[in-house]
Structure 1
Amino acid sequence: MAEEAKTTCYDSSCVKSFQFYLQHSGEHQVLRQCLHNILPGEFKRIGLNKSSLDVLGVGSGGGEVDAQILTLLQSTLPAVPITTDIVEGSSQFADNFKALVAKTTNLQKIPFAWHLMSSENYEKQVKAKGDMKKFDFIQMVQMIYYVDNLGDTIKFYRSLLKNNGRLMIIVTAAHSGSDILWKTYKKELAVDAITEYRSSAEVIAHLKSEGLKYEEHAFPHTFDITECFDPSSKTGEHLLDFLTAKNHFYQSFTPEIRAGILDLLRSKCSTEKDGKVIFNNNNSCILIYA
């Protein structure tokens, strides 16, 4: 019964927390610009002499980043038809993505196949069928924290790549604020939806150990967390809920742990400038070759 009480990355409370974070941090705007710099060249290589392209999004959330990726692909290779499969465990996120498609003209031209399940269940389903659809491009944006086994997940999705395909993993950068926070307070934080926190360091260590070819691109990003240090601030509490993956930061930890987390956020995870506390939220984009 205790297991059933855990929060998961599919809970409505987690969806709301993530949406609040996106509105406050501006992370997706930064990701869009970085992807615009990286992906058109990749898409030209992937799409060379292809009559069609198949894309898979895993843990795509509300679809904001996937929509940008698909739009970039269409603009880079306008004459090449695209199909898209989406694996998403949260029905609320999937509904948000479908609503985004419904109001975006260029996305309406793409046939979508929706798989409302976790990455692990998708893998089981595909293996049970024995008929693997192959993809030219697979994206996993900020979801590698939630899978059971990093190595098995990368191996499976690489097996779905066509020749010359790419698997793109966007993940928190090593030594970023979240990486420091979660590894310092692993015992207290890694107990619910995320049981083993991973940054780009773990992903790249695995790729090197397997001798896999990859490229890494840095996505520098910071945002203001000053309000996290005002106990009366609702914005601060919502941000702390997101940063610690808890529904109620102040009720979830002892006073000593709360004080330690707040001190770490200020001293090791951020820089102070003009009276503001600016969180290091750097990300990495890792492109893995087929």
Structure 2
Amino acid sequence: MDTFNESVMAAEAKQSCYEGSSVQSFQFYLEHSGEHEAILKFVHNSLPGEFKRIAAGKSSLDVLGVGSGGGEVDVQILTLLQSTVPGVPITVDVVEGSSQLTDNFKALVAKTTNLQKIPFAWHIMHSEDYERQVKAKRDMKKFDFIHMIQMIYYVDNLADTIKFYHSLLKNNGRLMIIIETANGGWDTLWKTYKKELCVQDITEYRSSGEVIACLKSQGLKYDEHPIPNSFDISECFNPSSQTGQRLLNYMTATDNFHQSFTPEIRAGILDLLRNKCSTEKDGRVVFNSHVSCILVHA
């Protein structure tokens, strides 16, 4: 999932979910789902106004990306920020558990001329480890804009994570959380088959519903913006389709969908995908993968 589904568990023993074959599976998903394109469209339409508000009266800006993955979306966000507030110096900190994806991000920065003068600080670690490190240091660096794109699934404690990153916001700053929408296709799939799916990196599936409940309980002010997206999963229903197999592997976070579940569970998941998570259009099965952007005020 951004990104994307991108920064991960606290225990050092657990590897990041995006190394090796997982990276390939994730890239394959991105090519088929149009998710980055949907998020980038939203970013370009909605963030310039936010950036102007955040930057008002400030002589420099500090940005933090948490779970930034290969940096495809970050690079676009930073380029947009530069063009919205030209001449304002920017610093960037990146927290990402995958060394492989961080290398991809660094290579992208090296190719992007306008970003080469920006100082980047790379923290190759999980979100919880960054939190521990920052708290131990005492002189917390504060940020004007913090974004967590498709990564909140992987943190151990949702409330603590939101509280910590919100505490790092400077005056008038924003924390942007992008996550699958409540009652969308992902939410339906992962909550219906929680017992079978929430067994590895994701032990508790979350959607925008859980995040908003958490923000309300902490009394935080936020705005929610829908990001519509859907993609064709018709191939998932063709047992001999390699594309369908790879999509099912990604969507259920397994290495081999057909070997990982009993015939009953497989049939149940496919039935749910077709009838509860998707719509049929011109004989094709189109999965509802709507996303929510939640902007939390400082």
The normalised TM-score by structure 1 is 0.97
Contact 1:7 1:192 in 2 (8 A): no
Contact 2:169 2:175 in 1 (8 A): yes
CA 1:135/1:191 → structure 2, altered by over 3 Å: closer, same or farther? same
SS in structure 2 opposite 1:109? coil
Q: Deviations over 1:166-198 (max 9, x none)?
A: 000000000110000000000000000100000
Q: In structure 1, which of residues 194, 197, 214 is the aligned counterpart of residue 222 of structure 2?
A: 214
CA apart distance, 1:109: 2.1
Distance 2:14 2:188 in 1: 24
Distance 1:149 1:126 in 2: 17
**Partner AA of 1:269 in structure 2:** C
CA apart distance, 1:79: 1.3
Q: In structure 2, which of residues 268, 273, 287 is the aligned counterpart of residue 265 of structure 1?
A: 273
Distance 1:239 1:147 in 2: 24
Contact 2:16 2:98 in 1 (8 A): no
Structure 2 match to 1:20 = 28
Distance 1:246 1:130 in 2: 40
Q: Deviations over 1:112-162 (max 9, x none)?
A: 100000001000111111121000000000000000000000000011110
Distance 2:292 2:138 in 1: 33
1:50 aligns with 2:93: no
Contact 2:29 2:250 in 1 (8 A): yes
Distance 1:56 1:271 in 2: 37
CA 1:162/1:73 → structure 2, altered by over 3 Å: closer, same or farther? same
CA apart distance, 1:10: 3.1
Distance 2:163 2:180 in 1: 20
SS in structure 2 opposite 1:284? strand
Distance 1:149 1:236 in 2: 33
Structure 2 match to 1:139 = 147
SS in structure 1 opposite 2:177? strand
**Runs of 4 or more consecutive aligned structure 1 residues displaced over 4 Å after TM superposition:** 3-8
1:86 aligns with 2:94: yes
Distance 1:206 1:95 in 2: 33
1:35 aligns with 2:43: yes
Structure 2 match to 1:275 = 283
List alignment gaps of at least 5 residues for structure 2. 1-10
1:98 aligns with 2:95: no
Alignment of 1:1-290 (within 5 A): 8-290=16-298
Distance 1:263 1:198 in 2: 22
Distance 1:184 1:283 in 2: 19
Distance 2:30 2:125 in 1: 23
Distance 1:6 1:163 in 2: 36
**What RMSD, in angstroms, separates the aligned Cα atoms of the two structures?**
1.4
Structure 1 match to 2:5 = none
Distance 1:224 1:129 in 2: 48
**Partner AA of 2:17 in structure 1:** C
The normalised TM-score by structure 2 is 0.94
Distance 1:127 1:196 in 2: 25
How many residues were matched structurally? 288
SS in structure 1 opposite 2:50? helix
SS in structure 1 opposite 2:63? strand
CA 1:4/1:156 → structure 2, altered by over 3 Å: closer, same or farther? closer
CA 1:7/1:254 → structure 2, altered by over 3 Å: closer, same or farther? farther
